[in-house]
Amino acid sequence: MNAVRRAAVADDARTVSLWLLDGNHVAGDLYVCAGFTRTGERQVLPRDASQTERYALTLRAVPAS
């Protein structure tokens, strides 16, 4: 995860996100401990109708306009 974070920062990204399969609580806990938050955004995988939820990590704040 640190390598992904460093690469995203080097690319000037504001956020990193990932999709997590429902029921994968161990991975969800790991991502939350790493600073990710649950977004509540959900989607279904077309191959088998599994439910997923998006997690996001804010790397830097969006500048005020």
Task: Give the pLDDT confidence of 17-42 residue by residue, as tens digits.
Answer: 999 999 999 999 999 999 999 999 99
- Provide CB contacts within 8 A for 22, sequence distance 6+: 50, 51, 52, 53
Q: Check residue 27 and give its pLDDT.
A: 97
pTM of the model: 0.84
pLDDT, tens digit, 9 for 90 and up, residues 6-17: 999 999 999 999
Give first-to-last CA distance, the chain, whole Å. 31
Q: Helix, strand, or coil here: 39? A: strand
Gap between the Cα atoms of 19 and 53, Å rounded? 5
